[in-house]
Chain A
Amino acid sequence: MLELSPDEWVAVHLSLRIALVATAVALPFGLALAWLLARKQFWGKALLDGLVHMPLVLPPVVTGYLLLISFGRRGPIGAFLADHFGIVFSFRWTGAALSCGVMGFPLLVRPIRLAIEAIDRKLEDAAATLGADRFWVFLTVTLPLAMPGVIAGMVLCFAKALGEFGATITFVSNIPGETQTISAAIYAFTQIPGGDAAAGRLVLVAIAISLAALIVAEWLARRAGTRFHGE
């Protein structure tokens, strides 16, 4: 009963891959943006902040549709990337990763930004007087001190990516083996007669993955936290 069918395994495997890739690719952008929002004053900052948070407040279907018309085959960005770099998003798992990354992005940026804002800037000044330029200050002082926030952001982004449904299905549809994640598969199984058992199995898998992610995150955050106090 608890044995997953090959098709279900594919959905689980695909979900993990999409969520991991989405989080990993979003991370450098998220770090840069969080630092910018936490540390810099510039024209249009409120607008940028609003844009980052848009996927959180927009209906996911709207975000998915916007991705479709901009990153789809005929969309301006999608056509450019396909022609010049051979990167295609539409109806591919890469497109699912993109939509999951976009949806998870605000959840990634916010904890990192808060963590950076909480760091005593005097420590960064001290690093500068010791010869560290801005990049090294970030790498050796800001980033390690913000690590609990970075981990929290990554977990939230990963969890969001794992569960993302509306934007993904709008952007890249629900193709088994290519774009059908756990969430989409559960939805598909609930739409067909006799699909309850399969849906139930995937629900259990989703719960297990989410719990595991939370436990790993808690452990990582605790380790990062004790490094400041313990030996």
Chain B
Amino acid sequence: MSMLALDVEKRLGDFALAARFETAGGVTALFGASGAGKTTLVNMIAGLIAPDRGRIRLDDTVLFDSAARIDVAAHRRRIGYVFQEGRLFPHLSVAANLDYGRRMCGLARDGAETERILDLLDIGHLLDRRPGKLSGGERQRVAFGRALLMRPRLLLLDAPLASLDAPRKREILPYLEKLRDEVPMVYVSHHAPELKRIATSVVLLDAGRVAATGGIEVLDAAATELMG
């Protein structure tokens, strides 16, 4: 059975999104030029935007179904989201940022698991700092940790490396590869090399439509096409 299944339509001004795809888990790359509707799509999965019509299902939970009038609120979906700009809470310490999801979801404290994630992302030494005092790469690693520590059913990553320069990207990618086995992911990017390193399947979006789906070979075909 597919893990994430989605069939949605949404009109935003002149832009019409009509996308349908299913993924089997692993790391699903949402690939396409900017303006293709990638972020809109992940926002729908997260519950931050409601589709006009359609269905979104995660495992056996229906998250959205316009016909059945089901729309599970974002805070009940248990879907982790790492944003392009991190969006750490500026008024909270790194430790409080990391603990936020656990507290809000009412999960028991799990010291060993927290320790493991801190080690995995190498952020244990940052706990007392404020997000304002972190480098771009550190900030993004804390954002990964914050999303993972709520023990999400699915992790959405919206161009998490796009705001970083090339050396920072190289610094983060190994961490991302380690996360691959932690939780299924939907990974948005318009950067093919980055996706090639971590994606297990690819959904190619073009102007609000799914143009192709498949393995990472889709990236090569699309990249050549994009390059002209």
Q: Say whether A and B bind each other.
A: yes
Write the residues of chain A forming the contact surface with B, with a CB cutoff of 8 angstroms.
120, 122-123, 125-133, 136, 140-141, 144-145, 227-231
- A128 contacts B101, C-beta separation under 8 Å: no
- B100 contacts A129, C-beta separation under 8 Å: no
| Stretch of B71-79, B117-125, B160-168, B202-210 with 4 or more beta carbons under 8 angstroms from chain A | B71-79
- Among B48, B78, B91, B150, the one with the most A-chain Cβ atoms within 10 Å of its Cβ is B91
Contact for A131 among B83, B89, B104, CB less than 8 A: B104
Rounded to whole angstroms, the CA-CA distance of A231 and B79 in the bound complex is 31
Q: Which residues from chain A contact B87 at a C-beta distance below 8 Å?
A: 120, 122-123, 125-126
Contact for B75 among A128, A140, A229, A230, CB less than 8 A: A128
Rounded to whole angstroms, the CA-CA distance of A69 and B83 in the bound complex is 55
- A129 contacts B129, C-beta separation under 8 Å: no
- A129 contacts B46, C-beta separation under 8 Å: yes
On chain B, the number of residues with a Cβ less than 8 Å from chain A's Cβ atoms is 31
The residue on B at minimum CB distance from A144 is B91
The residue on A at minimum CB distance from B86 is A126
- B104 contacts A145, C-beta separation under 8 Å: no
- A132 contacts B104, C-beta separation under 8 Å: yes
Rounded to whole angstroms, the CA-CA distance of A123 and B104 in the bound complex is 15
Q: Which residues from chain B contact A129 at a C-beta distance below 8 Å?
A: 46-48, 74-75, 77, 79-81, 147
Q: Which residues from chain B contact A126 at a C-beta distance below 8 Å?
A: 81, 83, 87, 89
CB of B59 within 8 A of chain A?
no
| Minimum C-beta distance from B128 to chain A (A) | 7
Write the residues of chain B forming the contact surface with A, with a CB cutoff of 8 angstroms.
46-48, 73-81, 83, 85, 87, 89-91, 100-101, 104-106, 128-130, 132-133, 146-147, 150
Rounded to whole angstroms, the CA-CA distance of A123 and B86 in the bound complex is 9
Q: Which residues from chain A contact B100 at a C-beta distance below 8 Å?
A: 127, 130, 132, 140
| Minimum C-beta distance from B11 to chain A (A) | 19
- B101 contacts A131, C-beta separation under 8 Å: yes
Rounded to whole angstroms, the CA-CA distance of A79 and B101 in the bound complex is 49
- B130 contacts A228, C-beta separation under 8 Å: yes
Q: Which residues from chain A contact B90 at a C-beta distance below 8 Å?
A: 123, 145, 228
Rounded to whole angstroms, the CA-CA distance of A6 and B132 in the bound complex is 53
- B128 contacts A131, C-beta separation under 8 Å: no
Q: Which residues from chain A contact B106 at a C-beta distance below 8 Å?
A: 131
Query: 5 new A-B pairs (CB below 8 Å) besides A126-B81, A227-B130?
Result: A122-B85, A128-B74, A144-B91, A227-B91, A229-B130
| Minimum C-beta distance from A137 to chain B (A) | 8
Q: Which residues from chain B contact A127 at a C-beta distance below 8 Å?
A: 89, 100, 104
Contact for B128 among A130, A145, A231, CB less than 8 A: A231
| Minimum C-beta distance from A139 to chain B (A) | 11
Rounded to whole angstroms, the CA-CA distance of A83 and B12 in the bound complex is 54
- B75 contacts A131, C-beta separation under 8 Å: yes
The residue on A at minimum CB distance from B104 is A131
Rounded to whole angstroms, the CA-CA distance of A131 and B89 in the bound complex is 14
Q: List 22 A-B contacts (CB under 8 A).
A: A120-B87, A123-B90, A125-B48, A126-B81, A126-B83, A127-B100, A128-B47, A128-B48, A129-B75, A129-B147, A130-B80, A130-B150, A131-B101, A131-B104, A132-B100, A136-B104, A140-B104, A145-B90, A228-B130, A228-B132, A229-B130, A231-B130
